[in-house]
Chain A
């Protein structure tokens, strides 16, 4: 249909009504109230923004309705793009003009000089892509009514209302983006997380078939549904559709990819779906402006769109069958792709992955975007309060926002621009982008080479899961960045060779970045139709294994970024912090990935250890290419546990081995391994001595320090073990430390118990604190307990147990040894049942 034809028919509803039933429209006011109740701050702030951004539209509609007219634009991707009068009205408002200067690709232009186009250009492009998709589907609908074995004359016509709501959705789909596009999206969501979730649930409840909703889509939806936009859409001079009250719901439905509020439901995925106008435009445009060829076959993809007819017989999917049974004429229609378009569709999926790897997640782009996020948080720190949602939508181009945050520009009512912000903003503006000081990824984990495959997978999984538990949030990344900063400062003080500048290292000089916000590729979310009318998702077949390996290898690598002059100090600090926090060492491939190979000298680790800034284990781990973590093996335990004990319980070593494996599946540092094995032997002998001598039998009182600890210490000294008493670590005095590595916590339980191996969780808490202070993952507890009766006096083999420390500790274990006290002489006791 030509533009003139559409303009002619704009005020008359299509003669051909949809064959898929009348629309069952919810009360838009009820939906607005529900959103306001679910997300009051979001609703209020965004309504205020919408009012301010559309104030000129309202004035133009009121004063000069004839001022709006169609406009034609030249576009590098699509050629001519024609906008209708009601679209140009919105285009000329701040609602859309604010997207001029909000770069589509965040900070990618720092690496790809051409990639600086903005969201306004993209939004216009999506209108044209959507227009072409609709026309292609409309043409296919004509074919489907007339041709083929499964021709279907019930395929509904596309109405003007559908077309115009789709085009408006295309134009408005990105109005929810703030400055720097996706770079600030996590910040936006973090401000009002629960409100975003609540609003998302309301939207999903209202609009059928909606799957994932990104934070910017929530914002766009709330703006579109807001009262100021309602006033615009319902104004008699706006003229997009006679069904004006329905328009906000229709536009919002298209932005969210819903099938609600559509006459021809097969248009549901045009703006948001697996193959949508948004993707087609941004992929083509990103590739064009960045100068990255990706082989996207736009014209084939659009021309191979299909209308598929779903009947109870044409599908085996239960939900689709049910929907078909409930539909008028027992059939409904969906967007699909022709089998002959699948090759181009596969190509599109691969192209998207390439864009992520080469463009969106280029390390310099990530560094620049992380610097921008840091600048915003630093501005908040300097002014002493967080930016509100209204403030985060700066209404200005990205470059102006950097200048304002850096103090180079002033804006009324906006306080920012302290000295540190000024310096960081200057670094961004002058492209003084931070360098990589440290790279971390599962494939770089060192020390696993000598392990069997299954153990290697286990160790990698559990170590990396621990890292992700912390670094899967911005707050977690900030916390680790701060620890790296503190350590780096201390290192610079002690090792002057690390930096050659007098400028002080500041916290904003370190950012930890792990790309975790990427939307997963899910190839099979679109339908195809075979010649005989069978409908199902397609089977995509290219070499998936190779593709996914390459993809996986590319995509997952975290970096610690810092200015060039601090790379050595921060690189060294990050190594120590990752070891202390996660017991992780990255191999030389990580150094190559961060281009720091040979930059961080091993002698600096020794020097750091000398100054107490790094453990000997950490220093060794980076200097030796050996298996770094070892298990407590059955053979170790057989060696450690005296024959007298093992004779009674032959499977004791096996039991303790599996308890160790459960508590600390990754294993422990080799230096600690020997101390633990030796310690088990010392403590087993201690249990034997105490039992044989009967020292604690018939006592009425037992003192933790004077009796239990004194006996244990004297036993250890007699065995020539290195033992320290009362070392001040972890904010209190520990009982004993064996060989500088192993905390032994002593406790006396004064009330009767039947289960000394499990009583007293708080002992573990205390021991855990001390163990963390000396960077170890294992503690011993020696517990003297008062048996409730004779059944609580056990053979020595049953007086030892290993358990994971409670309260969700990830990789720590407590080895408990229990000794009865205050009981009667064993010869008087009855044999336990």
Chain B
């Protein structure tokens, strides 16, 4: 199995077991930012260390692997087809399948829930940080 596919399973399953809202915000660097905070808080199993790289890119903070992770999640049918600008993506597996995937990755459901909650909290903070950040308006031309 490749690392990106494993990371896709880990992130979507943790998100699913930790709450009802199945949509993961993926635009404006929100997921990048939330994932960085979650990783820095010590979440996720040891095999993920060194697999995620965060870069201060020309559009701000980016997790290098996120486009591939989202692609793998969609490819594996774990999430819905994202729209091209990656506004949000819907986790479309049930809680029981998410737990099963965590078990396959050698992760206890309780840990997945804790990490998923940490990711959701970090996402909320990222969204707060971004209040007022709008896209450029395409109606201008």
Q: From the candidates B61, B68, B74, B94, name the one contacting A458 in the complex (CB within 8 A).
A: B94
A512-529 interface with B by 8 A CB criterion = 516, 518-529
Q: Are A538 and B92 in contact (CB under 8 A)?
A: no
**A545 vs B90: C-alpha distance when bound (angstroms):** 13
Q: Is the CB of B136 within 8 A of A473?
A: no
Q: Nearest-CB distance from B76 to chain A (Å)?
A: 5
Contacts known (A319-B56, A339-B141, A665-B97); A460 close to B85, Cβ less than 8 A: no
The yes or no answer to A52 lying at the interface (CB within 8 A) is no
The residue on A at minimum CB distance from B2 is A472
- Which of A42-50, A209-217, A426-434 is the contact stretch? A209-217
A342 to B141, CA, bound (A): 9
Could you tell me if A530 and B140 are in contact, using CB atoms closer than 8 angstroms?
yes
Is the pair B133, A317 in contact by a Cβ cutoff of 8 Å?
Answer: yes
Interface string of A110-122 (1 = CB under 8 A from B): 0000000000000
* Minimum distance in angstroms from A457 CB to a CB of chain B: 5
Q: Decide: A209 and B57 in contact? CB cutoff 8 A.
A: yes
Sorting the interface of chain A by its residue count into under 10, 10 to 19, 20 to 34 or 35 or more gives 35 or more
| A530 surroundings in chain B (CB, below 8 A) | 136-137, 140
B67 & A522 in contact (Cβ 8 Å cutoff) = yes
Q: Which residues of A contact B9 (CB under 8 A)?
A: 465
The answer to whether A552 and B93 touch across the interface, beta carbons within 8 angstroms, is no
In this complex, the member of B57, B101, B103, B129 whose beta carbon has the largest number of chain A beta carbons within 10 angstroms is: B57
The reply on B46 being an interface residue by CB < 8 A is no
Q: Are A339 and B140 in contact (CB under 8 A)?
A: yes
Task: Kindly state the separation between the CA atoms of A604 and B97 in the bound complex, as whole angstroms.
Answer: 35
Given contacts A522-B67, A540-B85, A662-B96, contact A468 B58 (CB under 8 A): no
Pairwise interchain contact B141-A527, C-beta atoms closer than 8 A: no
The answer to whether residues A349 and B84 also contact, given A464-B76, A536-B135 and a CB cut-off of 8 A, is yes
A317-B59, A665-B96, A804-B100 known; A472-B78 Cβ under 8 A = no
The answer on a CB contact under 8 Å between B81 and A548 is yes
Cβ-defined contact, A524 with B86, below 8 A: yes
Q: How far is the CA of A317 from the CA of B60 in the complex (A)?
A: 6
A 438-474 contacts with B by CB, 8 A: 442, 454, 457-458, 460-462, 464-465, 468-470, 472-473
Once bound together, how far apart are the Cα atoms of A681 and B132, in whole Å?
A: 63
Residues of chain A within 8 A (CB-CB) of B96 are 458, 658, 661-662, 665
B99 contacts chain A at the CB level, 8 A cutoff: yes
Q: Is B48 an interface residue (CB 8 A)?
A: no
B137 and A549 within 8 A (CB): no
C-alpha gap A272/B74 in the complex (Å): 26
Please measure, in the bound complex, the distance between the C-alpha atom of A808 and the C-alpha atom of B5, giving whole angstroms: 16
Contact B81 A470 (CB under 8 A): no
Residue tally, chain B, CB below 8 Å to A: 56
Q: Which residue from chain B places its CB closest to the CB of A268 in the assembled complex?
A: B58
Q: Which of A318-354 contact B (CB under 8 A)?
A: 318-320, 323, 334-335, 339-340, 342-343, 349
From A457, A468, A521, contact of B84 by CB (8 A): A521
Instruction: Name B93's contact: one of A442, A458, A538 (CB within 8 Å).
Output: A458
Q: Mark out the residues of chain A between 528 and 560 whose CB falls within 8 Å of any chain B CB in the assembled complex.
A: 528-531, 534-542, 544-545, 547-549, 551-552, 556
Given contacts A316-B132, A454-B94, contact A340 B141 (CB under 8 A): yes
Q: What separation, in Å, do the CA atoms of A540 and B137 have in the docked complex?
A: 10
Contact of B75 among A473, A476, A522, A556 (CB under 8 A): A556
Task: Given A204-B53, A317-B29, A472-B1, check contact A212 B64 (CB 8 Å).
Answer: yes
- Which of A349, A516, A528 lies in contact with B136, CB distance below 8 A? A528
B99 neighbours in A (Cβ, 8 Å): 662
Q: How far is the CB of A288 from chain B (nearest CB, A)?
A: 25
Most buried by B among A349, A520, A552: A520
A468–B59 CB distance below 8 A: no
Distance in angstroms between the alpha carbons of A342 and B84 in the assembled complex: 14
Query: Is the C-beta of B71 less than 8 angstroms from some C-beta in chain A?
Result: yes
Which of A316, A334, A465 meets B78, CB within 8 Å?
A465
Q: How far is the CA of A528 from the CA of B5 in the complex (A)?
A: 32
Residues on A with beta carbons closer than 8 Å to the beta carbon of B42: none
Residues on B with beta carbons closer than 8 Å to the beta carbon of A340: 141
Q: Which 7 A-B pairs have the closest CB atoms?
A: A544-B83, A539-B135, A316-B133, A317-B60, A528-B136, A520-B67, A461-B77
24 inter-chain pairs at a CB distance below 8 angstroms, sorted by A residue, are: A204-B55, A208-B56, A210-B55, A212-B67, A212-B68, A317-B60, A317-B133, A339-B141, A342-B141, A465-B76, A518-B71, A520-B67, A521-B84, A522-B67, A523-B86, A524-B59, A527-B59, A530-B136, A540-B84, A544-B85, A548-B81, A662-B100, A808-B104, A808-B106
